[in-house]
C-alpha cells in the first residue's frame, strides 16, 4: 500500500509529497511537531497534543495554521488514508517559505503543515516491554528551551544513535549536576526502594510529555506516591524500577542503565501495570 502524506492542503503519495527548498523548517529547523499515538484507528490524547502544539507555536511566535477542528480532520484523514490501526500520526508545522534570512519572514507568511501516519509493530513493542530495555547516559548538551517541541533535534539524534551503537533503546540526558533530565525521545522515571515514583519536574529543561501527564493522573488515581524532582544516575541504579514514557512507546520498563542492572534486572511491577492500564486513563477520540 502506498503511503499518503498531507502537505499544505493536499494528500499526496509519499514519493510526490515534498516541501519547498526554502521552507524554514528545512533551512533553519524553524518548526515544531507532535507525535500522537493511534490505537484501534483512534487518536490518543489529541486534545492535549493540540494544546501543547499551540504552546510550542506561541513560544516561537508561529501562527496556529488552522483551527483545532480542522487539524483534527486532517490528522484523522491522514490516519484513515494510511489505514493506520496501531501506530502514530506525525504533525509538523514550520514557519513557512521565504528567501533565506535568519530573521522572521514578512508578516502574513503562511506556516507550512505536514502530516504523516504509519502503523507500528504492536506485538514487537509488547515483546520489548516484556523483556525491558537498556538505556545509556549522555551529557545533556541541548539548548535551554527543550520544553518547546522543536524539530531541532540534533543532540537527540546523536544521543539515540549512541544508544543504538551500544545495544540500548534509549539515551538519558544527564545535566551538569549529574541529574537525569529525560530521554532523547521520552521522559525518564524511577521507582525508589520505598515505592515512590519519581520523574523530573517539568520546567524549560524537559519536554512536558503527554504520556507523562496521563501517567501522573493514573498514579494519583491509584494512590501511588509521586515526586516530581530530578534524580541522579546513581539513584536510578539503586532504584527498584525504572521506565520511560512517550506517545509512540507508551510505558517501557528499563532494566539496564549503562550496562548495569536496575532492581533485579527484570521489568518492574509498577511500570508493567502502568503499561497495561495506561489507556484507561488516556482520552481516545
Does the footprint of ligand PDD cover residue 169 (CB under 6 A)? no
Distances (CA, A) of 89 to 116, 179, 208, 227: 6, 32, 19, 31
What grid cell was written down for 232? 541522579
Whole-number Å distance between alpha carbons of 235 and 51: 33
Whole-number Å distance between alpha carbons of 277 and 113: 33
Active site annotation includes 220: no
Does the footprint of ligand PDD cover residue 187 (CB under 6 A)? yes
Q: How far is the CB of 207 from ligand PDD (least distance, A)?
A: 4
- Using the contact rule CB under 6 A, the part of the chain among 23-31, 92-100, 125-133, 245-253 near ligand PDD is 245-253
Whole-number Å distance between alpha carbons of 207 and 62: 19
Tell me if 2 sits within 8 A of 13, measured CB to CB: yes
* Footprint of ligand PDD on 121-160 (CB under 6 A): 156
To the nearest 10 degrees (0 to 180), the angle between helices 46-59 and 210-221 is 130
Does the footprint of ligand PDD cover residue 35 (CB under 6 A)? yes
What grid cell was written down for 69? 477542528
Does the footprint of ligand PDD cover residue 109 (CB under 6 A)? no
Does the footprint of ligand PDD cover residue 211 (CB under 6 A)? yes
Distances (CA, A) of 130 to 88, 121, 193, 257: 21, 14, 21, 17
Q: How far is the CB of 55 from ligand PDD (least distance, A)?
A: 12
Choose, by CB under 6 A, the member of 94, 186, 199, 272 that binds ligand PDD: 186
Does the footprint of ligand PDD cover residue 120 (CB under 6 A)? no
Shorter beta-carbon distance to ligand PDD: residue 87 or 97: 87
Q: How far is the CB of 96 from ligand PDD (least distance, A)?
A: 22
- Residues with catalytic roles: 149
Interface residues with ligand PDD (CB under 6 A)? 35, 156, 182, 185-187, 207, 209-212, 245-248
Amino acid at each position: 500500500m502506498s503511503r499518503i502524506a498531507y502537505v499544505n492542503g493536499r494528500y499526496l503519495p509519499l514519493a510526490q509529497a515534498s516541501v519547498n527548498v526554502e521552507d524554514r523548517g528545512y533551512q533553519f529547523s524553524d518548526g515544531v511537531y507532535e507525535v500522537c499515538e493511534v490505537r484501534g484507528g483512534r487518536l490518543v490524547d489529541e486534545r492535549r497534543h493540540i494544546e501543547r502544539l499551540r504552546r510550542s507555536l506561541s513560544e516561537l511566535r508561529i501562527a496556529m495554521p488552522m483551527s483545532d477542528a480542522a487539524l483534527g480532520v486532517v490528522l484523522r484523514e491522514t490516519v484513515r488514508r494510511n489505514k493506520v490501526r496501531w501506530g502514530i500520526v506525525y504533525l509538523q508545522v514550520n514557519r513557512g517559505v521565504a528567501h533565506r534570512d535568519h530573521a522572521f519572514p514578512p508578516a502574513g507568511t503562511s506556516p507550512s503543515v505536514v502530516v504523516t501516519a504509519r502503523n507500528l509493530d504492536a506485538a514487537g513493542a509488547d515483546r520489548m516491554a516484556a523483556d525491558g530495555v537498556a538505556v545509556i547516559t549522555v551529557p545533556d548538551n541541548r539548548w535551554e528551551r527543550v520544553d518547546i517541541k522543536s524539530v531541532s533535534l540534533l543532540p537527540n539524534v546523536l544521543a539515540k544513535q549512541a544508544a543504538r551503537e551500544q545495544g540500548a533503546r534509549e539515551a538519558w540526558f544527564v545535566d551538569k549536576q549529574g541529574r537525569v533530565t529525560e530521554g532523547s525521545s521520552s521522559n525518564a522515571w524511577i521507582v525508589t526502594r520505598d515505592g515512590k515514583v519519581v520523574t523530573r519536574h517539568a520546567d524549560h529543561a524537559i519536554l512536558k510529555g503527554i504520556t507523562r501527564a496521563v501517567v501522573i493522573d493514573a498514579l494519583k488515581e491509584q494512590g501511588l506516591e509521586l515526586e516530581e524532582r530530578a534524580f541522579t544516575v546513581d539513584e536510578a541504579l539503586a532504584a527498584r524500577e525504572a521506565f520511560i514514557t512517550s506517545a509512540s512507546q507508551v510505558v517501557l520498563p528499563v532494566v539496564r542503565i549503562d550496562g548495569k542492572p536496575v532492581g533485579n534486572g527484570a521489568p518492574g511491577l509498577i511500570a508493567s501495570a502502568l503499561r497495561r492500564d495506561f489507556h484507561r486513563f488516556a482520552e481516545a477520540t
